[in-house]
Structure 1
Amino acid sequence: MTTDLAAEHHDELRPLMFSIAYRMLGSVAEAEDVVQEAFLRLHRTPAEEVRSVSAYAVTVTTRLAIDQLRSARVRRERYVGSWLPEPLLATDVESDPAVRAERADSLSLAFLVVLETLSPVERAVFLLRELFGYDYDEIARIVEKSVVNCRQIFTRASRRIAAGEPRFEASRERRDDLARAFFAACETGDITVLEELLAEDVVFDGDGGGKAPAIARPIQGRVQVARFLLGIIRQVATFGGRLEPTMVNGQPGGRMVDAEGRLAAIFELQIADGQVRALRNVLNPDKLRHLGPLVDPASLPGAGRRPREG
């Protein structure tokens, strides 16, 4: 009787495989495709040829993700506007095997954006070593490089990540308190309080992908961001919509929904040093489909329009 390793180990392996693929690609849909293809390959491989099911799954997932990322990077060079990763909500994050207390920020949109500065192989080596704890011998086998080369790749990648790595609030309690104050100010429209919660050089970035109204380039500065944000909330309210706090990629964030609860946008807050330092807003419907029914972007005239100067 032939053992179907893919079926037997599916529930055990899938969280790890998706965790690797998603961090590599920043795309839920592409990560799902990679995981599915990896399971199909495991299904087609005779059990006697697989020494370690986990090692096989991680190897195939990583190699497929590297190939997919090489292709995706070409498409991203032609992407309309800012590119942001596809967001995950709380239930997806809770099942991520790499999210430990000391590495919880590794799933944030902010951190995934920094990972984009790495080449596909650099990204794989860095993630496997830094987040998933694989030793260099294992990583060398997975990416088909020498151990010495993998050490060099990791050192180079670590320096690049350190140069752009976003800061986060060390105290989760303080972070969550500030997020609650932020959403309270948004609800009441208190621009004075909102400005106090924003860092002086706060940045608001938006990803519409040319398929939803979004800002052409990031907005910077507490006054500009506060005015723009409250303007968006007023626009949402005109069609009976609302802003709902939620957790996005392990960080405080919000859902903008219409009167029927259909999703218009997801944004993540980056909080550090007692202030909101950045907001990343995903409006591209292709990046939100996995989160439920969506608002028709065409029904949101003016949403995401850059405010006039002055």
Structure 2
Amino acid sequence: MTDLAVSHDRLRPLMFSIAYRMLGSVSEAEDVVQEAFLRMHRSASADRPPIDSPEAYATTVTTRLAIDALRSVRRRREQYVGPWLPEPLLAVDDDPAGRAEAAETLSTAFLVVLETLSPVERAVFLLREVFGYGYDEIAAVVQRSEANCRQLLVRAKRHIDERRPRFEPSPERREALGRRFMAAVQDRDVDELERMLAEDVAFYGDGGGRTAAARKPITGALQVARFLANLGRMGERIGAVLEPVTVNGQPGIRVSAPGGIIGVLSLTIADGHVRGVHNVINPEKLRHLGPVGDLNALLQGK
């Protein structure tokens, strides 16, 4: 079991990657990982046979805890004020599932789609499609038969394929469009923004009832362009500073103001256009990123 202690740093990225994709919350994922390590060390100190594969054991414990955690937060999210968005991750470079297609499953837009799955469906989908586990391994983790796991995966994939967002395959083009987008917001350039937005673009704002935010998605290129230009004007008034960042593997913007960070905006880009804009301004979802500014006070001129 000394090996498990030594491999703590090696196992943690995998465990967090599973937990975060399951929960869409940095704080809840950290809690799951911490509890998983506690259980693993308790098992190590007990009079039990040594663990053959720390990685497999870590995956099992983390996934089961994440399934339980997701079940408990489902009711709370159903009562959430306005659109629920995952807590943003900035500049994710060490994700164990490093393939481009796996990185897409870390995106804000995709995590929102995963919310439509049941906890066990979500676990089966992620373990198979993102982390590449075999059906026999998945069956042992979720405590279902292999046949049932195959059925769960088929159902999950069918559900996801109906809603799956498209992504621009070229990182360079994504980054270039993201910087153009930020400049247009800063310049309040409605025409330029409208050119960059897909006709069916949707803007989602997550204030969680704690900060003023649109409680329903805003759709359509012109409507979203005008809304973004208004955000640019508001940002100038309160002294906001916009910085290009990578959010959940996709282009985004960190918005800071006196007092700290006040928002993180992420883009879904495909076919040379911005197809989705997700803006997290709920302060509870930004605390893991550093000091958080009081947007309400700033808007009131306090």
- Tell me which amino acid in the other structure corresponds to 2:58: A
1:36 matched residue in structure 2: 34
1:279 is aligned, of 277, 280, 287, to 277
* 1:80-229 equivalences in 2 (<5 Å): 80-90=81-91, 93-229=92-228
**Cα contact 1:211–1:297 (8 A) shared by 2:** no
**Cα contact 2:256–2:262 (8 A) shared by 1:** yes
Q: CA RMSD in A?
A: 1.6
Offset at 1:189? 2.4
Offset at 1:51? 2.3
1:66 matched residue in structure 2: 67
| 5+ residue gaps, structure 2 | none
- SS of the aligned residue for 2:268 comes to strand
After TM superposition, the structure 1 stretch with the greater mean CA deviation from structure 2, 167-176 or 3-12, is 3-12
Offset at 1:171? 2.0
Q: Deviations over 1:42-92 (max 9, x none)?
A: 1111373422211111100000000000001111111111100000000xx
TM-score (norm 1): 0.92
In structure 2, C-alpha distance between the alignment counterparts of 1:217 and 1:302, rounded to whole Å: 23
**Cα contact 1:125–1:153 (8 A) shared by 2:** yes
1:289 matched residue in structure 2: 287
Offset at 1:245? 1.3
In structure 2, C-alpha distance between the alignment counterparts of 1:102 and 1:34, rounded to whole Å: 25
TM-score (norm 2): 0.95
- SS of the aligned residue for 1:35 comes to helix
- Tell me which amino acid in the other structure corresponds to 2:238: F
**Cα contact 2:110–2:165 (8 A) shared by 1:** yes
In structure 2, C-alpha distance between the alignment counterparts of 1:21 and 1:46, rounded to whole Å: 22
Offset at 1:259? 4.2
- Tell me which amino acid in the other structure corresponds to 1:98: A
**Cα contact 1:99–1:107 (8 A) shared by 2:** no
Q: Deviations over 1:262-292 (max 9, x none)?
A: 1000010111111111100001111100001
**Cα contact 2:187–2:232 (8 A) shared by 1:** no
**Cα contact 1:5–1:42 (8 A) shared by 2:** no
- Tell me which amino acid in the other structure corresponds to 1:245: P
In structure 2, C-alpha distance between the alignment counterparts of 1:126 and 1:302, rounded to whole Å: 45
- SS of the aligned residue for 2:299 comes to coil
**Cα contact 2:188–2:228 (8 A) shared by 1:** no
- SS of the aligned residue for 1:244 comes to strand
Runs of 4+ in structure 1 displaced over 6 angstroms? none
- SS of the aligned residue for 1:215 comes to coil
| 5+ residue gaps, structure 1 | 304-310
After TM superposition, the structure 1 stretch with the greater mean CA deviation from structure 2, 66-75 or 98-107, is 98-107
After TM superposition, the structure 1 stretch with the greater mean CA deviation from structure 2, 79-88 or 179-188, is 179-188
* 1:261-280 equivalences in 2 (<5 Å): 262-280=260-278
